[in-house]
Amino acid sequence: MSAPQTPAGQTPAPQIAAAEIAGWPMLRLVYRTDPQAVADLLPPGFEPGAPEVHVNVYNVPVKGEPEYGVSTKIPATFDGIPGFYGIGIGIDQESAIFISQEINGQPKFPCATVFFREGDRVVARCTHAGYTFLEFEGDVTGAVEDPSGEVEQNDWWIKVSRAVGNAEKQYDFPPHVVRVHTIDDTAHEEIVDGVLTLRDSPWDPYTELLPMREQLSARLVSPIHLHREITLAGPLDPIAFWPHADTIGGSRWPGDRGGPRFRR
């Protein structure tokens, strides 16, 4: 039997050894939300971009074993540079959560993720603090014939440490924006026809703070990572930032003493 042929002009799918954890495609989901919802989550110093939410479900090797995770970000501009403000990165490796927060302000928190493909069927589920807040199920319908080439992107994280003793509006390290500058190419990309479902959860309040108005796209993407640099991009007004300092765990969802803002 002859090997399957790749259409002219299309990058062939990467060849991965059986059971290899490196090279998994990520599930990229985009949905439309309310413009005010995006603006409300951004600290002063950021300008909101398109009213979209970008959710990536992935499995990558970290410290010699698979890390399943889900990242959520919204378009935002800082210092005139467009990019994406990180709301949260839920992962299943505890060792990578706290050091990533400490060093780079990466908004990580513990989360159990199911993500697999069986034939053309793609399934993802994410659970945090006992709540399954995100589910996706769909079918691959075909490859993107002309995936985008090299793409430059900026992600924004926040590095901050409030003062010991919880003094009001005081910091040991005032809020600074962390710039994650990347350049990626695409080895292979496929369209997935499926449904993203967001469920109510006090710990991951998508339905309340980033409600889905329209699902825009679902893709399986195999990226080629060409460049990544993490640097401090500049300070934020520490007083104006104070209402954004208390979050749910290590995410940037607004919180109350590290937990959800429960309604009384």
| pLDDT 10s digits, 200-251 | 999 999 999 999 999 999 999 999 999 999 999 999 999 999 999 999 999 9
Q: Domain range spanning residue 63?
A: 26-148+187-222
Model pLDDT, residue 16: 66
210 inside domain: yes
179 inside domain: no
What average pLDDT score do residues 86-101 get? 95
Location of structure tokens 């460049």: 227
What is d(CA 117, CA 252) in angstroms, rounded to the nearest whole number?
30
Res 264 pLDDT > 90:
no
98 inside domain: yes
86 inside domain: yes
Model confidence pLDDT, tens digit, residues 134-167:
999 999 999 998 887 899 999 999 999 999 998 9
Q: State the pTM of this model.
A: 0.92
81 inside domain: yes
231 inside domain: no
pLDDT band at 22 (very low <50, low <70, confident <90, very high): confident
Res 99 pLDDT > 60:
yes
* Per-residue CA distances from 13 to 99, 120, 198 (Å): 34, 15, 30
Q: What is the three-class DSSP state of 155?
A: strand
CATH number reported for the structural domain that contains residue 81 in this entry:
2.40.400.10
217 inside domain: yes
* Per-residue CA distances from 17 to 14, 115, 116, 122, 143 (Å): 10, 19, 17, 20, 21
